[in-house]
Amino acid sequence: MDARNRFSDTVREEMQRQIIGADGNEVFFSGMINETGIVISVTAAARGDEHSVPVNYAEARKGSVLIHNHPSGNLHPSGADLQIAADCAENAQGFFIVNNDVSEVYVVMEPIKPVVIRKLDEEGAAHYLSATGPLAKSSPTYEERPVQLELIKKIARSFNKNAVGVFEAGTGVGKSFAYLVPSMLWALENKERVVVSTGTINLQQQLVEKDIPLAQKIIGKPLKAVLVKGRQNYVCLRRLDDAGKERDLFSEDQEMFDKIASWAKETKTGSRTDLAFMPTESVWSRVNSEADACMGMRCKFREKCFVMRVRKEAADANLLVVNHHLLFADIESRLSGVGYDDTAVLPPYRRLVFDEAHGIEDAATSFFSENLHRFKINKQLNLLFRMRKSSMAGYLFTIAALATQEDHTAEAQEEISQIKNAFAELEDAATEMMENDFTVRLFAMNAARFGGVFAALSKVQQHIAKLTGLMREMIETIPEDDLDNAVVWETKSVLRRLDDMTAICKNFREWDEHPDSVYWIQRQRLSPAIAKNYDTPFFIQLFQTPLDIAPLMNNGVFEPMETVVCTSATLGIDGNFNFWKRRTGVGFVESERLLDGEFPSPFPYKKNLLLAIPNDAPFSNEEHFQLFVEDAVVRLVQAAGGRTLVLFTSYDSLRHACDTARTRLRLSGITILKQGDDERFRLLNAFKDDTSSVLFATDSFWEGVDVPGDSLSQVIIVKLPFGVPSDPVFAARSEQIQKRGGNPFMELSVPEAVIKFRQGFGRLIRRGDDRGTVICLDRRIMEKMYGRMFLNSIPDCKKMYAPLNDILGAVGEFI
């Protein structure tokens, strides 16, 4: 081949010069190619004789193509050349042989051409949502939002600059389209997959069913977007078939199992959400797909596998929509050795968008936490061996039947019994140690109290190790032809899960060797239906929780990804994002790679929202505060004619206030709804449908509640949402701050409370024409120095600090 088709003239001249300088002997070059495959630069890295030249591996690693000359003019590769070429293939490098005057070239291995990044036109991306763009032309009532156009340009710039973007976008800015449009354009222009991770199912569904189809119409280009759910959401046909052969597992749930089996024959997706009923966790967990029980290509149902089908769809997609939990499962797999260039839980990607990014720390903390309790361990033990009336069943008997050596069935049964007894001893020891507490953190000051717990943990660990050892001894003697038996795979999965449980036991006992984790025990109440089967209404859970997820997030997300965009309506505190950045790992990102910005809501808060605080309320730690709350809530609800969301930080306070309201408002025509009386989805629908209703709620209802219009005209925030000081993780993180000389209250308690307060405040105004009042019954917001951080972190609005009676009149007038 004519070398001019592969080398620039400058490179050919340089190579000729180097070969002449080596007296016509072989010279080894490392070269770089451009996007068309032409070698545009070379480095002479080694010189040899007329028959061979050594490879300079240090320089070789830098090049996209390795080149050497054959002085004989015979350009066909030798055996040694072919070996080097094979190594090049492994490293995605090319391998060329040239003659001495570099007029001819023999291409042994083609190089991988460098990817040419096509940067987005930031103004062009914003044009799609402008007053003269395609969306405006298709909708006569469309109104351009200048703040949205600024946001879309910033997000496009994050893609262009391989940046980490942190953008707070207030309600009504239109952040979903602001990140979807540049994400789609980037994916199509550069053939790079973009992943969008959200915190809630509701947002996932909105994106896939509504926003993404509309965004595709806006940009006018076809694009494949796939919603990816965790594999546990799909039925496994192999496990379903196996379970059908062991119907004793289901006892009173056999009817439900039969319904799932019938549905599995008809469903096109295999997704749990497509069931017409909600299966119990005990039934679904026996038939759903699980990574460690998957037989892969050995499975006889692989051609019909729902998970495989979704994976194939995801592999071809430009845009993937996932939740934070699934994303962290993928990140964990990549950090554990899969790397970032191959498929893990998700196909490979380097561009990531976090929506609802305020929840990243909680989501990561939850995912990377481990826990252990009796039901978790018994579930695995019962798969190995269980008694049903007078019959025995379980994988143990199949393994024993397949094994060709000594039968350990009796010993294994005994160890299973010993594990259950040891765990009962653990619960007794933990209950005695905890006395009247419901949560106890293990730390230096109280470690001496855990002696009985450690001893019981040791017994649990020892007996699990004996059981898994016996089972593995039997498995090792199973003939190779029988190793593909589904029961063998399921048993290996059980043993791996039991190994994980022994690791928790070991870590708990060696807690002081793991300063990056928080160890704690919780006593939790059983549901009445389950409690009737036990002597005590409580059970014990052991937890191992990351103390700080920031380093993990930096190593797993911000450092290896090319672009990470983080958006939420509530990231900042008092005008900056420092707290959120520090807690999530963004604080590790180099400043030159970081873009951020605040994009305020376009809604008229100054005109449409009144924030009122009664100045005659007792302080929240005073004796009569609860009585004041119960009276004030009733009177405020009456003033608004219902239409109120009441947010609490304590379920006991909620319960008492709700009972009072039900008594005093029973003849008012106002419907009282309480969290816990029904499922969240049905409660919210009832609240939306009844414009004279009031919803008493706590915790999860501070965010994710979207009730525009007349059904919600008043939000009552009973107390500033400070974390509970006795919460083990909160306490450990406070202690960490104190050890380095910081102020835990100002560096952790207040910032966390401000963000949650902003979430609760944001429940009221969901549309431009929404109007109403937010009443905060906690006057610390006005009278404590830190109160200004709460007030400075919400949109500018009307404010009133007056006696409750005056506020009641103002509520009636304002609404």
pLDDT tens-place string over residues 473-504:
999 999 988 888 888 988 999 999 999 999 99
Spatial contact of 59 and 51, defined as CB atoms under 8 Å apart: no
Q: What is the pLDDT of residues 341-373, one digit of tens each?
A: 888 999 999 999 999 999 999 999 999 999 999
Which strand (E) or helix (H) includes residue 565?
strand 563-568
What strand order describes the sheet that includes 39-47? 39-47, 27-33, 65-69, 94-98, 105-109
CA end-to-end span of the chain: 82
* Average pLDDT value for the chain: 92
Task: Indicate the pLDDT class of residue 140, thresholds 50, 70 and 90.
Answer: confident
Q: pLDDT > 90: what percent of the chain?
A: 76
Specify the pTM. 0.85
Mean pLDDT (whole number) for 141-167: 96
Measure the CA–CA gap between 409 and 415, rounded to whole angstroms: 10
With 90 as the cut, is the pLDDT of residue 649 above it? yes
Residue 195 has pLDDT above 90, yes or no: yes
Residue 692 confidence (pLDDT) above 80: yes
Instruction: Tell me if 696 sits within 8 A of 689, measured CB to CB.
Output: no
Least confident of 137-146, 195-204, 388-397: 388-397
**777 or 724: whose pLDDT is higher?**
777
pLDDT digits 0-9 by tens, 707-746? 999 999 999 999 999 998 889 999 999 999 999 999 999 9
Backbone φ, ψ for residue 371 (5° rounding): -145, 160
Pairwise CA distance, residues 289 & 492, whole Å: 15
Which token pair is 153?
A: 């340009």
The per-residue pLDDT for 492 is: 93
For residue 115, what pLDDT is reported? 79
Share of the chain above pLDDT 70, in %: 99
What's the confidence (pLDDT) of residue 700? Answer: 85
pLDDT at position 252: 61
Per-residue confidence band for 87, with pLDDT thresholds at 50, 70 and 90: confident
Look at residue 247 and tell me whether its pLDDT is greater than 70. no
